Chain A
């Protein structure tokens, strides 16, 4: 990546880091909804582990955004929690795929497959960012993401090639979410500026590898890659599905009920 960090503002990096945090916190939330509800205890523990990894990523991205905000404003009291708890639905910029409801175990598996494989390629590129903190976060998150990918692949194979019931559920889930995958590979003006400066990942370049890998897994699982042309987009612009409002209401309720309190 070429270096021309002068052309982007600190605010751009704050916004970028915050939206990566949004992706992580929102999918972490969905995974954490499985706790005490998984098909068996080992899986309960495993889903909790993956949720924890995403919460960890969210905290790193938000903390980076908070530190830059403090530098920019000459303050020292902006924290990760301000990003997670005090922004509204229209300010969250996660991809829509992350916020869709918890669904059944097939739905969760199908969604994780798309997200985990995406993250693998995304983080490989973010490791080369000119922003040292983002690059360092990517190195750490990459290791965990490789494990997530292995899990998602194994579960996709088991369920797709398992029973007729699980096969049917997996195919339905894929058909249901496929249209939300397209926006993962689109750049808005903010990200384009940051790509030019060597800070953000050019996610348009990830699609070919992602599609190849995801297709191979889906086909090995005896499932079919959905061919519908529909696509829903808008997450990065804060144009969300109705799911996100409920998620944020639940997540932010206690924090917002006690303004200024420490926990």
Chain B
């Protein structure tokens, strides 16, 4: 793999070395590809983790790079809607909590980029893919954050939905990803709580505050259900991801968990549930719910959300405006190195 830019490597968790091609692996292990794949699948079936230096099918590696980098991009792009309210937070306490939270997202992004790099790809390549539109991020961040209530709804619902997904990913088959998720989940549950606390304060506040909470819930409820992706029958990546245990539970199962856990939380706040068709199904032991507006889902994914263009442009702008800083760092590092060599030569 290419090792072009060394700029980001200082915080990398595992330095990428010698990712072997399948051909090289076959020579190394003296086994056919079919045999390697059988061993690989057997490992997965017996719940052993796949580690960076293990042989893995190319499609498994690609699938993981896609999913993990998408996850990393989501953390980074997700800093924008909430970062948008740090300067306007209505109390100093809320301001510091929100800023800490947004910083955590940056940290998660770093962590996930590093974990993705163990698959033999550089962060700079991943970021290029994000900026060119080739890689995706969670479509939820294409919705605008308009009010302070949205800070509550995003923390509670968006981070809440993310946790449901991430808890299951703690058992994902790729070791670095699974371990990353364990750590990230701990912080995410704090994020969800901070969102819910914002909602509780609003819901028990003045009528105008309660109205703000209801409005944010109404706008973010359905998009947060869409975060689990299309129905299982429609999902392009699901079957293979399940076989390889990259995904451990299906989109619909995870979504159902989230619907069931959120319903009593809405009731506790004393807010109206946005899904008018929601009813408890005693027999199934879960809620029956209304159908998601999939047209909206695909429209937003395909670029028709309020903020699609803005999110990427914001990212590109910051990246381009920072180019001279990154260049200066490299030059300074070079100069220092050269001075050291000169001094040693002189001595």
A contacts, CB < 8 Å to B:
25, 29, 32-33, 35-45, 48-49, 51-52, 55-56, 58-59, 62, 80-81, 84-85, 104-105, 157-159, 161-163, 165-166, 169, 250-251, 253-255, 258, 260-263
Contact = CB atoms under 8 A, between A and B. Distances in A.
Given A45-B107, A55-B95, A56-B96, A163 B90 contact: no
Contact of B87 (A49, A52, A251): A251
A40 B8 contact: yes
Contact of B318 (A38, A45, A55, A251): A38
Contacts of B328: 158-159, 162-163, 165-166
Closest 9 CB pairs of A and B: A39-B322, A162-B328, A166-B328, A39-B325, A162-B332, A48-B103, A254-B90, A263-B91, A35-B83
Interface stretch (B28-36, B62-70, B131-139, B202-210): B202-210
A51 B322 contact: no
Interface of A is mostly: helix
A32 B79 CA distance: 12
B332 A263 contact: no
Contact of B91 (A40, A81, A105): A81
A253 B206 contact: no
B11 interface: yes
5 contacts: A35-B103, A42-B8, A42-B110, A81-B92, A165-B327
Contacts of A52: 96, 99-100, 103
A161 B206 contact: no
A36 to B, nearest CB: 4
B183 interface: no
Interface in B96-122: 96, 99-100, 102-103, 106-107, 109-110, 113
Contact of A104 (B86, B205, B321): B321
B86 A258 contact: no
B314 interface: yes
B228 to A, nearest CB: 26
Nearest to B91: A263
B206 A258 contact: yes
State the main secondary structure of chain B at its contact with A.
Answer: helix
A105 B87 contact: no
B326 interface: yes
A48 B94 contact: no
A118 to B, nearest CB: 23
Given A162-B328, A263-B91, 10 more contacts: A35-B86, A39-B322, A48-B102, A59-B92, A85-B91, A166-B324, A251-B87, A254-B88, A254-B89, A263-B94
B331 interface: yes
A157 B332 contact: yes
Nearest to A105: B325
A163 B331 CA distance: 6
B329 interface: yes
A127 B84 CA distance: 36
Contacts of B326: 39-40
A261 B92 contact: no
Nearest to A84: B92
A41 B79 CA distance: 11
A62 B79 CA distance: 28
Contacts of B329: 158, 162
A10 B10 CA distance: 51
B83 A80 contact: no
A55 B92 contact: yes
B177 interface: no
A41 B109 contact: yes
B201 interface: yes
Nearest to A159: B328
Contacts of A84: 92
B13 to A, nearest CB: 13
B87 A59 contact: no
A261 B212 CA distance: 12
B88 A261 contact: no
B321 A39 contact: yes
B309 interface: no
A41 B83 contact: no
B76 interface: yes
Contacts of A258: 90, 205-206, 208-209
Contacts of A43: 322, 325
B347 to A, nearest CB: 22
A38 B77 CA distance: 13
B314 to A, nearest CB: 7
Given A52-B99, A158-B329, A161-B335, A251 B88 contact: yes
Contact of A32 (B87, B107, B318, B324): B87
A39 B106 CA distance: 13
Nearest to A58: B92
Contacts of A32: 86-87, 99
A262 B201 contact: yes
B80 interface: yes
Contacts of B20: none
A34 to B, nearest CB: 9
A241 to B, nearest CB: 18
A41 B208 contact: no
B148 interface: yes
Contacts of A169: 324
B327 A163 contact: yes
B17 interface: no
B7 interface: yes
Nearest to B10: A42
Nearest to B314: A36
Contacts of B205: 258, 261-262
Given A48-B106, A55-B96, A161 B87 contact: no
